[in-house]
Amino acid sequence: MAMERESFLGQLDLISSQLKEKLAEVHSESELEKLRQEYFGKKGFLSSLLKKLGEFPSEERSELGKKANFVKEELMATFQVRERQLRYLRYERLAEEEWFDVTEPPLPFPEGYHKKGEGHIHPVSQVQKELEDIFTSMGFSILDGPQVETDFYNFGALNFTEDHPAREMQDTFYTNDGFLLRTHTSPVQVRAMQQLSPPFRIIVPGRVFRYEELDASHEHTFYQMEGMVIDREVSVGHLLFLMHTLLKEIFKQEVNIRLRPGYFPFVEPGFELDMLCLLCGGKGCSVCKQTGYVEVLPCGLVHPNVLRAGGLDPMKWQGAAFGLGLTRLVMLRYKIEDIRHFMSADPAFLRQF
Amino acid sequence: MKLCYKWLNEFVDLEGISPYELAELLTMKTCEVEGVEEPFAHLNKFPVVEVKSLKAHPNADKLKICEVQLADKSLSVVTGAPNVKEGKKYPLAPAGSVLPGGKKIENALLRGVASEGMLLSAEELQLKDFMWASADNLTGILELPEESIVGHSVAQALHLQDTILEIDNKSITHRGDLWSHYGFAREIAALLSRPLKKDPLEEVNLLVTNEDKLEVIIDTGAVAYYGMVFSVTNLPITPLLIQSRLILCGMRPVNFWVDLSNYVMLEVGQPTHAFDRKKLQGPIRVAYAQPGDSLILLDGRKINLSENILLIKDGERPLALAGVMGGKESETSLETKTIFLESATFLRPEIRRSLRETLIRSEASQRFEKGLSPVLAKKALYRYYALVKQFVPNCLAGPLSQVELATALQNKIHTKVSYIRQRLGLEELSLSKIQQVLGSLGMKVLAHDDDLTVEVPDYRSYYDITIPEDLVEEIGRLIGYKEIRPVPFMVACTVPTKANHLRRMEHELRKLFAWRYHFSEVYNYHFCTANELELDKRYSEKALFLLNPLQAEQKYLRTSPLVMLLRNVASHYKEFSELRFFEIERIFLPRQEELPQERLFLSAIETTREPVKDLKQMISLCHDLLKKMGVYHFEQRALKQNIFHPTRALELISEQKSLIRLGQLHPAILDQWKIPLPVLYLEFFLEDLLRYYLKGEVRYVRLPRYPASDFEITIIAPRRTPVAQILKTMGEVESPPEEDRTYIEDIRFLYTYEGPPIASDKKAVSLRITWRNPTRTLKSDEIKNLQEELVEKMAKAGFPLRS
Ligand SMILES: [Zn+2]
């Protein structure tokens, strides 16, 4: 039998007043949730009533539908208010109900600590440590520098011209107050020259930033390791020796390296250093893109303008520098396919290291 | 940049050097070659055929039967193309071949007539860029030039059979001289020690056949400007070879004037620009934009010009973005018969500023931004003249308009043979070798004993070879770096290197957290949203922010380590029942002196189902950690901070300084992040612990000679009495005295018990005290006294013994 209009409105009223009463009596969020099911759930009072709208002729249906919806929205709003109240009440009662004696001394370690599951050190940290150990054994100091840098240290002192394209907003993150996020670890070359007295040998592992959209092979936040040697006489031969020793230690086997010309404003001459592909031995494979060589790092002899910016006289001091892509090296070593894993905090990734 | 192997071969003999060998040579000595490919190799299998005769198809009006000649045989091919003509040449897809689109051609019967292949359209060959194709050619089959040879491939007939070397532009940013075929040919000639076959830049005789001359004025921004009016009665179609080379180099043919201009640029490296003469009044000016100036570019974009943008103007009217892109209004078309050709040298900083401000790039700007020699501008105009004359001998050319503000640079560099030897590490390098290498690069070398004076040609004098180190590079790369032997450094025997203590501590903390406390290390970004920044208000007020964030809302540099760890938990709690992460990084606080302050922190986060139990464990962890870091005296104090639960948070304090904060996160935060589990958090700054860590020595206590006496008691206390208060009531731990005196060696909390039979507002607390006398063994009645005294003292303080 079809429902009467009056009866529909009456029921709507009843539901509304009942719910409001019940809401006032609810004192916990779990009770509230139960109430929500009871009224707004699929088979709840309100939903069941609304289903009956279909039994009315179309004119009446739209009028009743409007009213019913109005009531429904009003009720839901009241519901939310109550929900918020209860939540704040819960927060307020925390101090009382969840008291905790912060002065209680813990049981001493390890009896006081029972955790299962392994912890892992991030692969970049591990490789960084390994490199630091190699270099300190060769008499290098480990330096750090600021990640938020000035234009002078990041560009100007490194012989980038005023209008060099790398300074543009599409390549570099700039901050308020006129700073930038360092685009390489090279600014520390200049800071080192200013702080240390030559001769010296330093490495600078650290986080760097490039204005770059994320994808499997591009990151805006990644890791590099700068190296610099300042001495009375530094030649391409010295640089070759250093790079050869370094790579031999990193890959724990004999390596073949070669230099090719490469252009970077802060070195002259500048090089790209390639290593004979360890996987195919130079025959060509997917890792070396069929060339037999893998590009490993850029390096060179320090440009006299950079020495000057660091306060050294290029007639008296010479230098060599290199910039190792730490993130890239880690990817190369473990054959990691996607650079985004490093910053993902994904336990499935971390626990492999 | 793309280089055509055959084009290079016009200037330097590449006999015996394959494109791959050339790429290898360039890679090792000059620049990066990204690829070697023959882009139109797929056209090699389509031969040129000549239509000998045409017959109507017996069963279809629109089809024709062609007898075509292919080398020594003739084939019968049916075509529906309306433009097929007897005696003309077309590309054929023989039966069995596959079209670029993938369609396979087979012997077929077309309405009852056999066809042994298919005549092809430009579209079917994917060659729509060509302009010589007449209108029919676009709809019908491709009519090949008269001179095409039957049997040759269509690639050959169209001059598309060439190999392209793709040069990595970034690797030649410092070499303005290399941005052309001739430039590379000059380099390759030096690398191979072969002579150049010809020089496209050599002087030509200018025959002025026209009086039209525009006045040229340089207000600013250029050192040389040359211009000339050219006029033809009929604009020819651009010669096929020129079109093909443009296409091979990735450009599109447009019209005769523009195509020649682009050709000259690809050939000699100087961009030129053709203006429609009819649109110009003169004088032509190189000047900055005025307020309110705007310009519609060739590609139809309208740009509003800021005042420091360099323009070409016609009087006061903007015509073009100087050195970057022409304007729509003065653009040439297939109808333009008279042009004004510009060949100028704009200053590199001006072009770079325009690029930065307009973000518009072009083949021209790519060359000007490297810095070009003004000598080239004039020579390029003559080259354009020569090409126009070659293709349109009756073309009228006007007198040269020219403004020259500077003579070309020819840097003179002073250095020493010994310096070059030392820097390279090639002690045996001879002077004659140096002279030969530099000579092959166009430099003049004057030697006087050890001293060298090197004169650099103009095309390498701009922003390129300026200092002795540049010569070291030139000699090194031409000789080949493989000639250089690795030499160990002469290691100075000085004091040990300066240790980086903070780094040592960092690595030690990693080991502790990973291996002793079972947390995994994560790396996190610095960038967060305004909401995330607000989460932990401690330092959020003056956060640094990015002017150009990758995502607009993620513009702040974090001021709290918490946010990112919360993100980590939010992303992974569903998959993993327990999460324990730690991170060592920096947060950024407002500037101090020169730079913002960067504080190195360690933060750790843990999801839990038993927050009380796990918080106690975390406190235990912190005690262990502090001891490992050399902090032996510290206390626990309640902490009220908005991120933490109101009672379940504390800090560990030593010498009035808070060293670690930890606790359960406030449920409001977790509700906000929709994390349905209690979460614990701890955080400290490494520098706060550093001084303890550096002192960090083991505290040795002399071994006792007489036994101690332990006493465990359980007292009843009001439920909310802090344990610290009860411990304090028991007494103070003392250091061993020298004399015969009993002292408290240790006071230890053992555990708390709440629940029946203890009254609900009370708790039972078990404790242990240890007494010792350094000089003798305690007697039993002494011990009994001590115990009774203690029990009495506790009862008096309101902590009766549990009965
Ligand atoms: Zn390989």
List strand residue ranges (DSSP E) for B451-575, in order: 451-455, 520-521, 527-528, 556-557
Whole-angstrom distance, CA of residue A49 vs CA of residue A64? 11
The answer to whether residues B745 and B766 touch, using CB atoms and an 8 Å cutoff, is no
Could you say which architecture CATH assigns to the domain A123-350? 2-Layer Sandwich (3.30)
**A236/B519 CB distance under 8 A:** no
Instruction: Pick B353's closest partner by Cβ from A163, A175, A259.
Output: A163
SS3 of B474, please? helix
Q: Which residues of chain B have pLDDT under 70?
A: 130-139, 491-497, 697
**B469/A263 CB distance under 8 A:** no
Q: Tell me the C-alpha to C-alpha distance, in Å, between residue B764 and each of A77, B71, B726, B732, B800.
A: 48, 110, 11, 21, 10
Phi-psi region of B739 (alpha: psi -120 to 50; beta: other; left: phi over 0): beta
For ligand 1, the distance from its centroid to the CA atom of residue A294, given in whole angstroms, is: 7
In this prediction, residue A1 carries a pLDDT of 45
**A91/B666 CB distance under 8 A:** yes
All residues of chain A having their beta carbon less than 8 Å from the beta carbon of residue B562 are: none
Q: Residues 230 to 249 of A: which have CB under 8 A from any B CB?
A: 231, 233-238, 240-242, 244
Reported ipTM: the value is 0.89
All residues of chain A having their beta carbon less than 8 Å from the beta carbon of residue B490 are: 231
**B522/A149 CB distance under 8 A:** no
Q: Which residues of chain A have pLDDT under 70?
A: 1-3, 169
Strand order in the sheet with A257-261: A141-142, A200-209, A221-231, A318-325, A293-302, A267-276, A257-261
**B595/A179 CB distance under 8 A:** yes
**Which H helix or E strand runs over B703?**
none
Hey, where are the domains in chain A? 5-97, 123-350
The residues near A301 (Cβ < 8 Å, ≥ 6 apart) are: A234, A235, A236, A239, A267, A268, A269, A318, A319, A320, A321, B423, B469, B472
Task: Count other Cβ atoms within 10 Å, centred on residue A114.
Answer: 12
Task: Count other Cβ atoms within 10 Å, centred on residue B252.
Answer: 14
Q: Residues 68 to 87 of A: which have CB under 8 A from any B CB?
A: 87
Residue of A104, A245, A315 to mutate for B, most B C-beta atoms under 10 A: A104
**Which H helix or E strand runs over B574?**
none
- Give which of B203, B172, B165 is closest to B9, Cα–Cα: B165
Query: Which residue from B minimizes the CA distance to A137?
Result: B497
- Give which of B345, B240, B342, B355 is closest to B284, Cα–Cα: B342
**How far does B658 lie from chain A, in Å, by closest CA?**
15
**A150/B594 CB distance under 8 A:** yes
All residues of chain B having their beta carbon less than 8 Å from the beta carbon of residue A129 are: 507
Whether the bond between B757 and the residue before it is cis, its omega within 30 degrees of 0, is yes
Whole-angstrom distance, CA of residue B571 vs CA of residue B723? 38
Query: Which residue from B minimizes the CA distance to A146?
Result: B598
For ligand 1, the distance from its centroid to the CA atom of residue A275, given in whole angstroms, is: 10
The answer to whether residues B93 and B131 touch, using CB atoms and an 8 Å cutoff, is no
Domains detected in chain B: 2-38+162-192 (3.30.56.10), 41-157 (2.40.50.140), 216-404 (3.50.40.10), 412-483 (3.30.56.10), 501-695 (3.30.930.10), 709-796 (3.30.70.380)
Whole-angstrom distance, CA of residue A26 vs CA of residue A28? 6
**B550/A106 CB distance under 8 A:** no
Residues listed for chain B: 803
Residue of A87, A102, A330 to mutate for B, most B C-beta atoms under 10 A: A102
Residues listed for chain A: 353
**A132/B503 CB distance under 8 A:** yes
For ligand 1, the distance from its centroid to the CA atom of residue B252, given in whole angstroms, is: 37
The answer to whether residues B545 and B556 touch, using CB atoms and an 8 Å cutoff, is yes
**A238/B586 CB distance under 8 A:** no
Environment class of B429 (CB within 10 Å of its CB; exposed 0-12, middle 13-18, buried 19+): buried
All residues of chain B having their beta carbon less than 8 Å from the beta carbon of residue A98 are: 645, 647-648
All residues of chain A having their beta carbon less than 8 Å from the beta carbon of residue B580 are: 115, 117, 119
Interface membership of A272 toward B (CB under 8 Å) = yes
Number of CB pairs, chain A paired with chain B, less than 8 A apart: 298
Whole-angstrom distance, CA of residue B329 vs CA of residue B458? 35
Q: Residues 23 to 42 of A: which have CB under 8 A from any B CB?
A: none
**A107/B616 CB distance under 8 A:** yes
All residues of chain A having their beta carbon less than 8 Å from the beta carbon of residue B576 are: 347
SS3 of A48, please? helix
Q: Which two tokens stand for residue B701?
A: 């206590």
Query: Which residue from A minimizes the CA distance to B489?
Result: A238
Residue of A204, A211, A235, A274 to mutate for B, most B C-beta atoms under 10 A: A235
For ligand 1, the distance from its centroid to the CA atom of residue A258, given in whole angstroms, is: 15
**How far does B292 lie from chain A, in Å, by closest CA?**
25
Beta bridge partners of B765: B715, B752
Query: Which residue from A minimizes the CA distance to B635?
Result: A103
Beta bridge partners of B520: B581
Task: Count other Cβ atoms within 10 Å, centred on residue A154.
Answer: 25
The answer to whether residues A127 and B588 touch, using CB atoms and an 8 Å cutoff, is no
**Which H helix or E strand runs over B229?**
strand B222-231
Instruction: Pick A117's closest partner by Cβ from B426, B518, B615.
Output: B518
The answer to whether residues B730 and B712 touch, using CB atoms and an 8 Å cutoff, is no
**A122/B522 CB distance under 8 A:** yes
List strand residue ranges (DSSP E) for B71-198, in order: 73-79, 89-94, 108-110, 113-115, 117-119, 164-167
Q: What is the pLDDT of residues B694-748, one digit of tens each?
A: 987 677 778 888 999 999 999 999 999 999 999 999 999 888 888 899 999 999 9
All residues of chain B having their beta carbon less than 8 Å from the beta carbon of residue A221 are: 525-526
**B517/A262 CB distance under 8 A:** no
Q: What is the pLDDT of residues A91-122, one digit of tens each?
A: 988 888 899 999 999 988 888 898 877 899 99
- Give which of B632, B681, B634 is closest to B658, Cα–Cα: B634
All residues of chain A having their beta carbon less than 8 Å from the beta carbon of residue B545 are: 175-176
Whole-angstrom distance, CA of residue B175 vs CA of residue B183? 10
